[in-house]
Amino acid sequence: MKLKFFLCSGLVTLSGMISAPASAAPHWTHAEQDTWGAIEDDTQKQAPLMYPYAECGIGSHQSPVDLSGEANSEKLNMLEIRYVKDMPDFFNSGHAAQVNTSASYKGVLKIGSDIYPLTQFHFHAPSEHVIGSQTFPAELHFVHVRADGRIAVLGVLLKEGAANPAIQTILNNVPATTTPPGPVHNTDSGVTLNPKALLPKDKSHFYTYAGSLTTPPCSEGVSWYVLAEPVEVSEAQIALLEGFYTDNNRLPQNLNGRTVTGTIKRW
């Protein structure tokens, strides 16, 4: 998961982000995820500033995770997903196909009494969260960031099936990946999109746990909610998604004593 590119998977970049402005952040790729924590910022000369992604290596509440060991709970706050139409920025972040909401966007995620504005959503292929041995072809992350910096991410697992018109709209408008990969915006498409069209019918069953951004800087303190019902996308759409980036997923991290809870229904 990442935040808007200039916050960027965050609170400074969030793919697959929060960190420092993307222009100043050290380069990273998913292929080197085992050593993200050791990547150095050569503009800094002293620790810990010279290791801006250290939390990726030493954090104990990292994401994604295996969701299969969840404990059912009947006392969780329900999710109220209040997304509305928008004329967004279709964005290729250099790491993922992404959609940034407009500055005036009013869509929010409400959890209990807490309200989180939707700032962007992006894709990972294959999925980052797994359920035991089950990996999905792709995963969609809706990133919500409050003014106080608190982050909630809503995850949607994607499975092969019927074509999805809303996802096709995104695939048609996100700029192609450049060589080398870098951020490219499409702010003048004139296309209107309602993120609600990307959600499953059942939004009452979900997994939840305390985690992190799934891309550098891997900042912790992120509240994760992964909907239990997958959304269908066609084989051709999966291929188009992989055409932007292949294997832009972080592998599951240790729970380290955390518990995945939820109101779960198996699909």
pLDDT score for 75:
84
User: 266 falls in which pLDDT band (50, 70, 90)?
Assistant: low
Please report the sign of the dihedral spanned by the C-alpha atoms of residue 110, residue 143, residue 218, residue 229.
Answer: positive
Domain count, the chain: 1
User: What would the mean pLDDT of 27-46 be, rounded to a whole number?
Assistant: 96
> What pLDDT band is residue 74 in, cutting at 50, 70 and 90?
confident
Domain-located, residue 23: no
What is the rounded average pLDDT of the residues 87-97? 97
**H-only helix segments in the chain:** 55-58, 165-173, 235-244
Report residue 117 as tokens: 């504005």
Is residue 125 situated within a structural domain?
yes
Is residue 256 scored above 60 in pLDDT? yes
Residue 19 within a domain: no
**Residues annotated as catalytic (active site), given as ranges:** 95
Note down the domain range covering 204. Answer: 30-263
Does any domain span residue 151? yes
**Domain for residue 73, yes or no?**
yes
pLDDT tier, 11 (very low <50, low <70, confident <90, very high otherwise): very low
Structural domain includes residue 127: yes
Asked whether residue 95 is assigned to any structural domain, the reply reads yes
Q: 73 falls in which pLDDT band (50, 70, 90)?
A: confident
Q: Does residue 170 lie in a domain region?
A: yes
Residue found by looking up tokens 């909610």 in the block: 225
In 3D space, the residue among 29, 7, 25 whose CA is nearest the CA of residue 17 turns out to be 7
| CATH code assigned at 225 | 3.10.200.10
